[in-house]
Structure 1
Amino acid sequence: MYFPNTDFLNAKLGDNASYTWRSILSAQEVLKKGCRRSIGTGKDTFVWKIHWLPCTENGYLTTIMPQELEGIRVCDLMEGQQRRWDDDILEDLFNSRDVRLLKNVPLSIRDINDSWLWLFDEKDQFTVKSCYRKLVGECDTFNAVFWRKIWDLTLPGKVGFFLWRTCRACLPAARALVNKGVNIDDKCGWCQVEKEDEMHVLFECQFARRCGHQLNRRNKWLWNRVAVSVFGTTSAATNLLEDWKKAQLEKPRSKSRLSATIRRWQIPQRGWVKINMDAAVFEDINTIGVGGVI
């Protein structure tokens, strides 16, 4: 057992700790910030070892603990069997800050056990969602407004999703893949100079300045060593532009932003001939392929 003589909130990393234990313990700080002890009988809560004061910044007592009182429990601060604080004990043991907070702790008249509550949830119950939001900082109003503006943009679904992934640094750029343990070079596959992250692959790379459809062309080269022609890249970018134009004409839809825009082949107008074509360059065999369908 990692902490045989204490609880998780007071556990230490120790010597030669395993990767698993380090990962588990990394959540300790956010749990300390969000967990508070709800006092029932007070028999299950140590006075100095558990954060049980009603303070979001620091739920621990700040009074220096006398060594001989290390093991006292919250029930020892009450008047006998009555559910009220012994003011004389509080004034003798604790500083003014702790006394003020102690007197604000609600005491139940029922005979119930002490329990845990979670500060970052309206129902005082721990949820992975509320803990995640606390960790990544999405609980603040600014971020909530920012993401709402992102999803309210009039864009094709796949473009909105791509924008969200870019803002969240979720694109499979080389630098992100290396950070996740993928054994590849983190330099840009085209310029071979700068480290490839979202900003570089979309805006800073010289090829990105000439053509906005960089990511698809870069992925085909990085993983399959297939070089897509400038014509093919430009054609794909033109299709994206058409998707965007169509999105501007559609009425806003609240729940369909995530769905990808489906492009279907359409019959050309009377008197017109439609040609669908693409091209690719295979540098390893010095070959260029061009195909077209009328």
Structure 2
Amino acid sequence: MYKAKYFPESSFWEAESHPSPSFSWRSISEAKSVLVKGARCQVGDGNHILIDDPWLPRAAPFRLLPVQGGRDEGWKVSNLMNNEGSWNETLVWQVCHVDDIRFILSIPLSNQRIKDRWMWHFDSKGMFSVKSAYRLLIEEEMVQETPLHTQDLWKKLWSTKVSGLHRRPTLPGLKQLQFMEWFGCCASNLPPNLWAAFVYNLWGIWKERNNRLWDNKNMEVNQVVLLLSTRLQEYQRHQGKDQGGGSRRVVPWKPPSAGWVKINVDGAFYKDTCTGALESLFVMIGGDV
């Protein structure tokens, strides 16, 4: 329907502005600049991809670099293939720019007739999502407008060994600058173990803020602190086990010495309800309780 009305003689990418577009088409047109940054063709048999379409598996615009002569604008990607379902490497070296060749030859081909298709470059399955497009725009903005030392700070943040860090909170204007100065100071002065706990707790506070704002879910402050502390300890304990550091030396129990009272303590915590219990046992000389 859109093609018949808005680009009957061309493709979506060449569609021009319309004098009276519908609301949905106007919205789609506004998003085209974002789609161009990540949409490319996935090569199948190459019969439906023009040689100058975006199809190289590298950074946008995914197109071949220009060369003097050698190939025609009307060529399809299939013109660069042999009949056996492989690349014609001799021809590729003749008509393509040297910087494109390794990307072309890295594309696997099949001797079966697999259809070409459009895909989203920034997803392992080629599926577009608003989340991945938003992440792309945020990363571009960070690279273009953020000083190098701040970029290093973000790299340190995302490499921190704690669970749950998968989204970036954004703060506008001056608040972001003040936050980044404070955050950078913390990153420079905290040792690795405290830095991990610090980052995890910041993430937990941000998550609790979102729960209150968007999901109308509230927890008491002490519950938030207890939950974050418990989950961080669980994560660090499991990480230690995975790295071979989770085994503990078992110390046999002994009765207290003369003049001493031994107190044995045990506790349990149920994270889903944030409830727990603590018990203690006093033992005197001779094993009397």
TM-score of Structure 1 vs Structure 2, range by shorter chain: 0.3 to 0.5
Higher relative contact order, structure no. (Cα contacts within 8 Å, ≥ 6 residues apart): 1
TM-score, length basis structure 2: 0.47
TM-score, length basis structure 1: 0.46
More helix by share: 2
